[in-house]
Structure 1
């Protein structure tokens, strides 16, 4: 039998180890980026570093836009807006009870060109929705209950549904939000500076500072390494235990088969000599030998009184049979044990 528990733990440990290495590499990548304290210095840095492009930098500032979006529900002004609507309902399951569930009705995303401004200059951010760490603020959340129309309610009930209502959520990246961006800095022909995802390297848009991002990645890397070691050790323990149990069981079965074959050989020898067909005047010594041949091959104390189904072999007592899953003689699986009685 394959030790799936041990293999699963070892594989989980390997996966956590890879995650830990990835987090460690990300932390090292953030440590190596160029820090720009003032946005106006980025243009000069790009001019001087044109020969060593791509240039990965980290900049900070407040979100701004020349054409911000006015949110309909919350009234906020933002540069990225995400609106979703979820239908909430009760559905009839196979057990005959009602459980609550939901389904997405629609999702709409809006984004306008936006930049970071620190008072000395500004740089545009491109492709922020695909960056790590971007979290939109929940600007508004409203639940509209479904109407109580008799016809609609009857149709939904026949389909095994009870409509509860629609939940509308609006998430936004408001103007004025302080952000830290890590990415590739480029400048186009007209002098506009942008931060975008690099071909190779980190790309972060987060309200956390660069030092906090590095510290968090370092903590995750250590946690992954610790968890990886724990899962691996436990998995190796399970695999080792399974291997030891397998060899001990194999050895026990081998010894048991030797006992059974030896007892069968003795029985055959007695039968060939005609000792088993003697009358009641047989000697006490031969009776004792016969009794020894009728004892359980497991405990060697009780007489065997159990028949294994379906193979039909009888070589063990009922007590020992309760601990067996396969016949000691033919190794077939035991489906049932039937107790026998002697006259």
Structure 2
């Protein structure tokens, strides 16, 4: 890496390890909490999917009618117990029922005629056609992604980390989606009598689209491109064109709430469930969600344990550092108080005509007046001896033996 990259990496590492890793520990704890929240939501989704019935389109009307009858009976019994005698409508049909519906994709325009399924094969109105493959579909998504390259240039004004952050902040591609109303039907011989309308309004789930076109087109260089490369900026080198469709006749599963709308069953997505339209069956979705829960469970335990260790070490180190700084402040205050208390005794130790052999070995200014116990070395003045004595691990500056205190020596 270049010098700017090394400086930024060093700054980020120092910031992550600031306060003895407290910031890193808080970040890991936040990641662990996010994993726990996702694990809780996945667990709730798994329980709901297990209890949801998996039915075909032909069996859905019977299931909803049974639920409607049960809801109507309960509503009638509740209405009979009211004192004012007002009747209540069946709330089950308005609220809907969570189901896992398996069916075949078909355009709505082919089934909403006056004669039902009459003219289904020859009617192409309301059906999208892929421009590249010619396949009929109900959803067509086209994506154009621009690929950028970067040459450092002769001035080396840019580096990799800047390119990473800048690329994440700007749009490098465009996506266009076309949809037509579509339904799910049962496969098998024609004609069919039942279908379910798919409502995509408000859905943010991924769609089971199949790629039918994928091509990389190079971008011709221009004088402006040369200037971009010369001064170290990104320049385009190619464009990826991709087309994905949801074709007619594909068998998918719809996970959502099914209700009646103007006499037609309709299914819409649930925001608290990870699936809406998917190619997997109910058993495959349960297995996939169970694996996701297991991964989130162990990741939350590992990341949570790491965050506790890092935060524990950080707390212990900062606590010891705080105690050490407090002890140093107390020692300094004691030394200052002792020096002020014995100020009259140390005034006579001013460096006035003191031979070199009798100077303090620490300050080299005052006469040797204090002897250390138990080694007995007379090598320091009283002020420096008190300073050495107040240290956390006091040792004689000559023999490096641990000392307990010092004794003032007076001349006869």
What range describes the TM-score normalised by the shorter chain of this pair?
0.7 to 0.9
| Partner deviation per Cα, 1:291-324 (whole Å, 9 max, x = no partner) | 56436546544769xxxxxxxxxxxxxxxxxxxx
**TM-score of the superposed pair, with normalisation by structure 2:** 0.61
- Shift of the alpha carbon at 1:48? 2.9
Task: Tell me the TM-score normalized by structure 1.
Answer: 0.72
Partner Cα distance (1:276, 1:98) in 2: 64
State how 1:13-162 maps to structure 2 within 5 Å.
13-36=32-55, 38-50=56-68, 51=71, 52-53=92-93, 54-65=96-107, 66=110, 67=124, 68-91=127-150, 95-96=156-157, 104=172, 106-118=174-186, 119=188, 121-127=194-200, 130=203, 132-147=205-220, 153-159=222-228, 160=233, 162=235
Deviations 1:96-125 (A, max 9, x none): 579897954542211122222323643232
SS at match of 2:380: helix
Query: Which residue of structure 1 lines up, in the alignment, with residue 80 of structure 2?
Result: none
Q: For the Cα contact (< 8 Å) 1:63–1:117, is it kept in 2? A: yes
Within 5 Å, give how 1:312-327 maps onto structure 2.
Answer: none
The match for 2:25 is 6
Residue 206 of structure 1: how far off its partner (Å): 0.6
Question: After alignment, is 191-200 or 174-183 more displaced?
Answer: 191-200
Deviation at 1:129, TM superposition (A): 8.6
The answer to whether the Cα contact below 8 Å between 1:64 and 1:114 also exists between their aligned partners in 2 is yes
Alpha-carbon distance in 1 for matches of 2:327, 2:219: 74
Where does the alignment leave 5 or more consecutive residues of structure 2 unmatched? 1-17, 72-91, 111-123, 359-366, 372-377, 399-412
Q: Which moved more, 1:46-55 or 1:27-36?
A: 46-55
**Counterpart among 166, 169, 176 of residue 242 in structure 2:** 169
**What residue in structure 2 maps to residue 290 of structure 1?**
380
1:241 aligns with 2:313: yes
Q: In the superposition, relative to structure 1, how do residues 301 and 233 fare at CA in structure 2: closer, same or farther (>3 Å)?
A: same
Unaligned runs of 5+ in 1: 305-343
Structure 2 counterparts to residues 227-238 of structure 1, below 5 A: 227-238=299-310
Counterpart CA distance in 2 for 1:46 and 1:284 is: 103
Contact preservation (8 Å) 2:368, 2:380: no
Contact in 2 for aligned 1:86/1:103 (Cα 8 Å): no
Q: CA deviation at 1:154?
A: 1.2
Residues 90 and 98 of structure 1: is their aligned pair in 2 closer, same or farther, counting only changes over 3 Å? farther
* Contact 1:30–1:202 (Cα < 8 Å) also in 2: no
Distance in 1, matches of 2:159 and 2:379, equals 71
Residue 338 of structure 1 corresponds to none
Structure richer in strand, relative to its length: 1
Q: 1:72 to 1:115 in 2, by over 3 A?
A: same
Distance 1:73 1:129, change over 3 A: farther
